[in-house]
Amino acid sequence: MRTAEIRKRWLTFFEENGHTVVPSASVISDDPSILFNIAGMVQFIPYLTGREPAPFARATSVQKCVRTQDIEEVGKTTRHGTFFQMNGNFSFGDYFKAEAIRFAWQLLTHPESAGGLGFDPDRLWATVHHDDAETVDLWLAETSVPRERIQFRGSDDNFWHTGGPGPGGYCSEIYYDRGPGYGVEGGPEADEDRYIEIWNLVFMEFELSAVRSKTDFDIAGDLPAKNIDTGMGLERVAFLKQGVENMYEIDEVFPVLGAASRLSGRTYGAVEVDDVRMRVVADHVRSALVIIGDGVRPANEGRGYILRRLLRRAVRAMRLLGVTEPVLPHLLPLSMEVMKASYPDLETDFERISRVAYAEETAFLRTLESGTQLLAGAVDRVGAGGDISGDIAFALHDTHGFPIDLTLEMAAEHGVSVDEEGFRGLMQEQRERARADAKSKKGGGADLSAYSQLLDEGASEFVGYDGLTSDARIRGLVADGGAVDRAAAGDTLDLVLDVTPFYAEAGGQRADRGIVRGDGFTARVLDVQAPVKGLSAHRIEVLEGELTRGADVFAEVDPDHRFAAAQAHSATHLVHSALRTVLGPHAVQAGSLNQPGYMRFDYAYPDALTPAMRAEIEDAANVAVRDDLAVSYEYLPLDDAKRSGALALFGEKYPSVVRVVDIGGPFSRELCGGTHIGRTSQVGPISLLSEASVGSGTRRVEASVGLDAFRGLARERTILRSLSEMLKVPGTDVPGRVESLLERLKDAERRIAEMGRDRVLAASAEAVASARDLRGVRYSATDLGDVADAGDVRSFVTDVRNRIDASAVVVAAAATVGGKPSVVVAADAGAQARGLRAGDLVKRACGELGGGGGGKPDLAQGGGQDPARIPQALDAIAAVISTS
């Protein structure tokens, strides 16, 4: 049964049983402090915890998830995967244990012909919490599972909670027995390799007052409404239904693994280290496909860094398998083909997805070149047999994107070792810094009870529309999720005021910054968030003195930061209106980001902007700036606001009374809670920087605003003037002149490459004629001198080997490529039968050059440091042959 079919049967079954089918949320978490969604219940957290009323009584979904903490373990075991899909069914105060158990048993055991998954009921086991006897009775009443196949387990396995005070409850897990060939008898308690967990039923029924660990917590009482949250791992069920050994061999993963095997010439299942690398490739290519599909681009931090790491690890793994040319054009389309049945947008948006992935591979291949230079310099300093420091290995990893095993491989080729212990020590320091940084951020699964208690005392009153300062009182201080009474100089924590002029990040607009002062203390406001709706939490750094709960303060927003953010937010409204004017009313907003000097705007539109469209949009927005339109706002009932023509923003949930921002009467009218300038002339110039697709049917424009836009245009003017002077043409002629020069350069490079290739191939006849007999082996050795492309040397040796008519042939060629000696050796089947393997011969030759090398028995390549010793290197091969 194909994975997409299992997915379809899941959704159909629960829809027929009264559940609302909810599409998967993006793998990108809505919480800016969490990189990716890691569980099927993430989008339902507000309903499960009671923070928001659920719009449906029961729901079902298949959620895309990305788990990043186990990336290093991917491939080493068959349990770890980066991207996975979690099937879930949920009840929000509707049904509870009995129905959840009944639904699970029916779907699992009903025959495939009846729409079920067709699992043999005699091979299913259940586990329950050792204090949850009620659930044992329900298993016996609702299913045919016998009592001996129900096992009790502790809280470590069969109790769920958030990690802090709040909801929690017992779990009941369903396991499938794979049979005696996979381990010992005795159920999940005896062997979780044989007995595979396929479904976890969480019965959310308790209110926890304290959580000290996974297994140590206090239950304060029952929740007012009992909820169901279940999860079935789609890939895990797929490999069981498809009769394969693990998730890497299912229909949505194995085709990429098979392609990696074919490209590398390595057989999957033959060598464990190769198997690990092929599994890494299959997992990471699929994960990158989905992550790019949801709008992430490679970067040096956050989600973009995870994506970059996945792509580079995939390319690296293929390199370690012996494939040095670009591989993603072979692998990514295969992954898309097997995934499109479940996610059709991957096919419709594949042109953008592939462009992003291929560009990253190309960039990584370039970093390999720069990193190789750093490594070569280190090799020169330590000499053959030396040890490269952990600092160099860490710089290769952190700056050039070299994974440590790639550094180890390349160092071994040059005959040196690497201080792995020093490298791993630096990596651990980096991880600890990252963990400390992550700990300082608030997450969706964090303990919000301290904030909820403060909200019970009253919401934060925002007065920042009318002024940038206000008197206020400290209502609360929160550090590491808990309420504290005071904070001293050097502390960083959250401050809650009864009244605040500080805008909390919302609607795409970044938060205000500024200062809070009081009697004997000063604190800098770094950020403002709303951890619970209606409450503003100011992230502060105490600069001097001591703050205490209840103290009076004077709060002051940084006026320059606020004005620049307001410029960007108003510019977003102008660009939105200009887009709708040029493209039509269907080009509606799908997300935005506004911060000082910069705006980003996502909108619904199927096609890329032409240069003419882009110019027209930019012009329309700047005409609105020139016209100095008035910016005003009013509060209206939601229905009245909509009738007045006000546009609602993407994904927003509005109260009954809303704020309407009006720019120039009919030019722009939107529901918006952000801050704005007074007239459009204050926005300053708007300069569109880029336009690109960020998902199927969704595109993004980016622009600089105000002084940043002016400075950017001034820099471009200076660059154009410099080019005009260098090329000695007017500025308007610079593009044509550059295009002409590039064509001439390409033509010259092509002719140089052809001349070099012709020279190398011309030497092949002489190499064939000069081959000598060494103990029954025909040996040809050639020094080709300076060569631009090492690939020409490989072509040369294979050509000469094929042209020498003898029972055993070894061909060696050396050349200087980029100032470094390179040696390529080819050995035919007859030579290999004599024990002469190309990989061994090239290592011997490169030893003479102060380097190393390796490869396959029939063709191998290596390098070194001293081109002057090329004759000795070729003679060394002859010596080995002569003694064979």
Q: Considering all CA atoms of the chain, what is the largest pairwise distance in Å, rounded to the nearest integer?
A: 98
Return the residue matching tokens 């190398």. 760
Structure-token pair, residue 62: 């298949």
Give φ, ψ of 183 to 5 degrees.
155, -170
- Which residues pair with residue 647 across a beta bridge? 670
C-alpha 740/C-alpha 730 separation (Å) is: 15
> Taking a C-beta distance cutoff of 8 angstroms, is the pair 849, 823 a contact?
yes
Paired tokens of 661: 């921002």
Cα(753)–Cα(369) distance, integer angstroms: 20
Exposed/middle/buried for residue 584 (C-beta within 10 Å: 0-12, 13-18, 19+): exposed
- Give the span between the Cα atoms of 777 and 534, in whole angstroms: 85
CA atoms within 13 A on the CB side of 158: 22
| 573 carries a ligand binding annotation | yes
Burial class (CB in 10 A: 0-12, 13-18, 19+), 642: middle
Residues 6+ away with beta carbon under 8 Å from 258:
268
Token output for 585: 């009313």
Smallest CA-to-CA distance from 405 within 328, 324, 317 is with: 317
Question: Residues with Cβ < 8 Å from 722, sequence gap 6 or more?
Answer: none
418, 426 contact by CB (below 8 A): no
User: Per the structure block, which two tokens stand in for 223?
Assistant: 């929740």
Candidates 268, 263, 253; CA nearest to 315 is 263
Specify the residue for token string 């200087």: 816
Q: Is the dihedral of CA 764, 766, 772, 776 positive or negative?
A: positive
Helix H or strand E segment including 774 = strand 772-774
Cα separation, 631 vs 634, in Å, equals 11
Q: Which residues contact 853 (CB under 8 A, 6 or more apart)?
A: 413, 823, 839, 842, 843, 845, 846, 860, 861, 862, 863
Count Cβ atoms within 10 A of the Cβ of residue 520 and give its class: 0-12 exposed, 13-18 middle, 19 or more buried.
exposed
Give the C-alpha separation, 264 to 690, whole Å: 38
- Token duo for residue 714: 């001034």
**Buried b / exposed e along 738-772 (16+ C-beta atoms within 10 A):** eeeeeeeeeeeeeeeeeebbeebeebbeebbeebe
672 is in an annotated binding site: yes
Contact 650, 588 (CB under 8 A): yes
Q: How far apart are CA 294 and CA 356, in angstroms?
A: 12
- 676 labelled as ligand-binding? yes
Rg of the chain on CA atoms, in Å: 33
Cα–Cα separations (whole angstroms), residue 862 to 74, 318, 385, 657, 855: 30, 18, 16, 73, 8
Under DSSP, the state recorded for 502 is: P
448: helix, coil or strand? coil
Burial code (b: 16+ CB inside 10 Å, e: under 16) for 793-816 equals bbbbbbbbbeebebebbbbbbbbb
Beta strands at 217-233 and 387-388: parallel, antiparallel or unpaired: unpaired
- Cβ 813 vs Cβ 823: under 8 Å: yes
Would you give the DSSP letter of residue 425? H
Sign of CA dihedral 144, 145, 147, 153: negative
Residue numbering of the annotated binding site: 569, 573, 672, 676
Q: Residues annotated in the binding site for Zn(2+), as ranges?
A: 569, 573, 672, 676
